Amino acid sequence: MTKGNDKSLESWIWDAACSIRGAKDAGKYKDFILPLIFIKRLCDVFDDELNRIAQEVGSRAKAFKLVKHDKKLVRFYLPLEPKNPDDAVWSVIRTLSDKIGEQLTTHLRAIADANPLLKGIIDRVDFNATTHGQRDLDDDRLSNLIEAISAKRLGLSDAEPDIIGRSYEYLIRKFAEGSGQSAGEFYTPAEVGFVMARIMDPQPGMNIYDPCCGSAGLLIKCRLVHDEKQPTPGKKSTAPIKLYGQENEPGTWAMANMNMIIHDLEGEIQIGDTFRYPKFRKSNRLQTFDRVVANPMWNQTEFKEKDYDADELDRFPKGAGFPGNKADWGWVQHILASLKNTGRAAVVLDTGAASRGSGNANTNKEKDVRRWFVEQDLIEGVIYLPENLFYNTSAPGIILFLNKAKPKGRRGKLFLLNASREFTKGDPKNYIPDDAITRIADTFTAWKEVEKYSLIVSREEIAKNDFNISPSRYIHTGEDGEYRPIAEIVEELEGIDEEAEATNRALKKILKALVV
């Protein structure tokens, strides 16, 4: 996924990010760094467009006048005009020497005013902001950052949008490494995204949706995989896929939009709380899609039964019930409701979502929802991922696949794949190498059984195991005895503790009533 010129661009982009205060603190400044690199790309592309027009009209000075009069001649019109029209547009920013933060903020707001598509994306950051009377990013450091970003050109003739886009994503990943618990809110490891995209197999003309899109990485992977399969590499499809996403956090929403544009992709990224207020609707119903990819925050506890009862979009079937105090299967229900009748989905979840409540005598709401999905034959399969891939946890995670129109030969069955050993040790995180991505995706797509790796399991077998759908329950990778990951055992113990507490509360109520 990273080769040649790609790598040098990645190194430059990270060095630029580190120019403020070094690698250790770079992540703290991502809200300043990402927009600036994004603007550098816009400036260099604008230069290329001006040069193309100048060849036709005779000079850059005339080209500036022409695009100012007719802004539709360029994708983004930048109201930045150097004193010498032959100088690079970026030079307006590079030569700032006084009140740099204030002037830079003014320039970015002017660009947003001239381009409604960029409103709220590049004008939300104040480069002159202070905290307790001290500048968040002083002019000296800001000047160093601008100079570091100036070292490379990011125009149309300098690198393919895919290379620049992947380098931008590399920067987002590097920020995730230092962001602790918040990283999972905006970044899913690239290799997990490619596994999902290859299994989803997006076809020309399809629409693809991510209800909690973070920095839009999963959507972008779907488009990259789609483009790889085109007959003429590099040539856009006559029926390109359409990308849709929703993100609740404003800074991450801005990041998603910048990431899409810098990849030279067009899509619709809405802002808002998908769980309570999904934005993609048609005639007061949920809009439906050919494919859904998602990595919702794991084990959210903020949604209560009243949130499910208040839903007016039929996202939570009465027969399935609501999933208790963890929202993982609530997200899966929303995703199911967002699929067309022939739709498929890939969802990253905590491993506990595959097994919590199974093997215990007490009723468990999460298990009941999982049972409903199995009995309705909506689950295509599950992949068990390696440990320590994700930036906000060392837990392995699973990918759950839904299919509303399983092929005849696969009905009543689930395909389970235990990829727990498909990783290379990394620092700070493990990663899935390219050959393993291909092996996982190809094995799943072919429904090919491989000893200690993949297995086709009937719904009856799932029912016998009390609707535990974790691949580690059925596929043991160890040489001797039964191997079960510690993270999964801990999840089950937590589930048992929760059920014991619920039983104790119920018992105390009964005893209290008897005493009265």
Per-residue pLDDT reduced to its tens digit, 265-309: 989 999 999 999 999 999 889 999 999 999 999 999 999 888 899
Q: Which pLDDT score, from 0 to 100, does residue 1 have?
A: 41
Q: Which pLDDT score, from 0 to 100, does residue 3 have?
A: 39
> Which string of DSSP letters, residue by residue, matches 404-420?
SS--GGGTTEEEEEE-T
Q: Which pLDDT score, from 0 to 100, does residue 367 have?
A: 95
Q: Which pLDDT score, from 0 to 100, does residue 489 have?
A: 62
In this predicted structure, which of 12-16, 325-329, 397-401 has the lowest mean pLDDT?
Answer: 12-16
Q: Domain boundaries in the chain?
A: 5-156, 179-491
Beta-carbon count within 10 A of 411 CB: 11
pLDDT, tens digit, 9 for 90 and up, residues 341-351: 999 999 999 99
- For 179-491, CATH number out of 3.90.1150.150, 3.40.50.12280, 3.40.50.150, 3.40.50.800 equals 3.40.50.150
For 320-344, what is the mean pLDDT?
A: 95
Beta-carbon count within 10 A of 140 CB: 11
- For 5-156, CATH number out of 1.20.1260.30, 1.10.443.10, 2.40.128.20, 1.20.200.10 equals 1.20.1260.30
Residue 107 — very low, low, confident or very high, per pLDDT cuts 50/70/90? very high
Q: Which pLDDT score, from 0 to 100, does residue 289 have?
A: 98
Domain 179-491 in the same topology as domain 5-156: no
Q: Which pLDDT score, from 0 to 100, does residue 230 have?
A: 82
Residue written as tokens 């799932």? 462
CA pair distance 150, 109, nearest whole angstrom: 21
Residue 2 — very low, low, confident or very high, per pLDDT cuts 50/70/90? very low
- Consecutive H or E run containing 403: strand 398-403
Residue written as tokens 């580690």? 472
Of 350, 287, 351, 342, the closest CA to residue 313 belongs to: 287
CA pair distance 321, 319, nearest whole angstrom: 6
